[in-house]
Amino acid sequence: MEPAVPVSYYSKNNGNHEYDDIIDWFENLCENAGHVQTQTLRRILQLNYGVEYLKKWFGERENLNIQNMDACALESLFTSTVPLASHADLDPYIQRIADGDEAPLLTQQPITTLSLSSGTTDGRQKYVPFTGHSAQTTLQIFRLAAAYRSRVYPIREGGRILELIYSSKRFKTKGGLTTGTATTHYFASQEFKIKQEKTKSFTCSPEEVISSGDYKQSNYCHLLLGLLFSNQVEFITSTFAYSIVQAFSTFEEQWQELCNDIREGTLSPRINIPEVRKAVLEIISPNPSLASKIEGCCQELQNLDWCGLISRLWPNAKYVYSIMTGSMQHYLKKLRHYAGELPLVSADYGSTESWIGVNVDPYLPPEKVTFAVVPTFSYYEFIPLYRQKEDCHSAIDDFIEDKPVPLSHVKLGQQYEIVLTTFTGLYRYRLGDVVEVAGFHKGTPKLNFVCRRKLILTVNIDKNTEKDLQLVVERGSQLLSQARVELVDFTSHADIANQPGHYIIYWEIKGEVEEQVLSECCREMDASFVDHGYVVSRKTNSIGPLELCIVETGTFKKILDYFIGNGAAMSQFKTPRCTSNQVILKILNVCTIKRVYSTAYG
């Protein structure tokens, strides 16, 4: 059961009628979410009927009057005629668009922009159509989420936001289409400019800092300007929790240089992009008293291992806001360390392909957050997943699938894989996300993100997901915590080049630890994999002992730099929890300073 939020938390938005209006709009949608969904599908098909991809399944059907067809009948026809699809099924069409084919392949309106997925899940970036609708829904969900947050954490009119956000470079495809990450497209959009102009609070950094294309320089300027306006900052945010942790980890190293810039009204020579220097220097001016105050705080914080850094340096901040679910859960401990007493508020649920749900309960901790599906953004279907045996653990891909059901037919407590049909040309697209229905917000389901469905660790009959790995690492790292050593980051690899194949888990740690403790950590992790295939394979030695590799400080920053150098954006970066990328493995192995092997099955 969800904890009750005190009624006093729910102010009526301090007279902000825009917030009241958008909440009323959403609540009305949720009252009849099933009907809204059928109408959403009808609108998508009316806009795009006749495109090449749909013709492939509908045929010509001269007698089909889709414009006047009953929405429920159209929904039934669509789901019975058009098959479920993966990105591989749609990729040939998207590639033709990228190469300049102007025929209506996926949408009737020309697609002029393509998004790149982060590529950190499997090491391969993929193209996803991005249109004006994509930017509009991003603006819409940001406003909706802000409205719900303002009921719990009211903010001052005219305050500022410390937004640790970063654009990456955009490039042109062979056919001349602008390509980049979805966040980069949004930050360059008219919708983002509208948000900056019309929201109650505005970002500390000018556009030149956000769009610099160099996340290290952007990060320094974000921190500098955030400190300069420290008393005005209402909350701290970034797309992913990782970015916030990374920013304040860097702050630990750069605080003296930042204080010097504030004292002198100068800008570090590390900022060498002319447009960025000019924009920042126009804002800052010498402020010796503020610099001295920050220096005093930082000297005290050093003795506390920087615990409460955010709440001390930004005394009027109400909360920290970011995506904190899925692969970001690992960073919650460090984020809480930096945040001190400030609440952590989980941002909303979406993907490069589509936004899905909004956090309507921002008072809940990230571990308990759910997301209410917004029924107008896309048409959603849900593939029910059932365990083969109720009395045993099995990996997600051992689940039995049932036929997809519409949003109005999902059941409380059931796990599903999400299927999307979007305004941007994706039809019955398997997203690969596994969610559980945790409740309902009026008539729309509230989803709890479980994991990505894709297997990430397998040698033969063993099957383990990212969630399985996360739980195993949490078990093993508890022994580190007892030794007052911090696990900074981790990834893994299924080594099948050597026989018997085995799992390798790479850890970057902060602090000194005896090898005996590492051996116990390794043994604990090996014994914590509960997948039946893994346990049997370890007992018969068809999978070898787990290998724990300790890498030198800064290794995961090198991996970040590798992804950024290949076009990823800092605002979309997620550490790959399992990798077979040879460049990353080379970085990891070159940087390995210690190896231990499990004796769990010895």
The pLDDT assigned to 335 comes to 93
Q: pLDDT band at residue 207, thresholds of 50, 70 and 90?
A: confident
Q: Please state at what angle helix 466-482 crosses helix 515-528, rounded to 10 degrees.
A: 150
For 131-144, the pLDDT digits (tens) are 888 878 888 898 89
Give the pLDDT score at 178: 84
Q: Is 325 left (phi over 0), alpha (psi -120 to 50) or beta?
A: beta
Give the pLDDT confidence score for residue 184 in this predicted structure. Answer: 80
Closest among 211, 192, 181 to 135, alpha carbons compared = 192
> What average pLDDT is seen over the chain?
85
Task: Please state, in angstroms and rounded to a whole number, the distance separating the CA atoms of residues 279 and 165.
Answer: 16
Q: Are 44 and 379 in contact (CB under 8 A)?
A: yes
User: pLDDT tens digits, residue range 357-374?
Assistant: 999 999 999 999 999 999
Using pLDDT thresholds of 50, 70 and 90, give the confidence band for residue 246.
confident
Interval 210-214 mean pLDDT: 84
Beta bridge partners of 447: 371, 437
Can you list the alpha helix ranges (DSSP code H) found in 153-240?
A: 182-187, 190-198, 207-210, 215-228
β-strand partners of 371: 447
Check if the beta carbon of residue 181 is closer than 8 Å to that of residue 139: no
- Strand blocks (E) in 268-414: 319-323, 344-346, 349-350, 355-358, 371-373, 379-386, 400-401, 405-406
Q: What does the pLDDT read at residue 428? A: 96
Which of 314, 320, 279 has its CA nearest to residue 297?
314
Per-residue pLDDT tens over the stretch 504-541: 999 998 888 888 889 999 998 998 888 777 887 788 77
Please choose, from the candidates 34, 113, 90, the residue with its C-alpha nearest in 3D space to the C-alpha of residue 373.
34
pTM of the model: 0.79
Six-digit token string for 389: 């045996």
- Give alpha helix (H) positions in 305-444: 309-313, 332-339
Rounded Cα–Cα distance for residues 558 and 473 (Å): 22
Calpha distance 190→309 (Å, rounded): 34
Residue from 531, 457, 464, 525 nearest 495 by CA: 457
Token pair in block for residue 552: 């030198």
pLDDT at residue 396 in the model: 47
How far apart are the C-alpha atoms of 292 and 394, rounded to whole Å? 57
Query: Residue 327: pLDDT above 70?
Result: yes
Q: Does residue 18 carry a pLDDT above 80?
A: no
Does residue 44 carry a pLDDT above 90?
A: yes
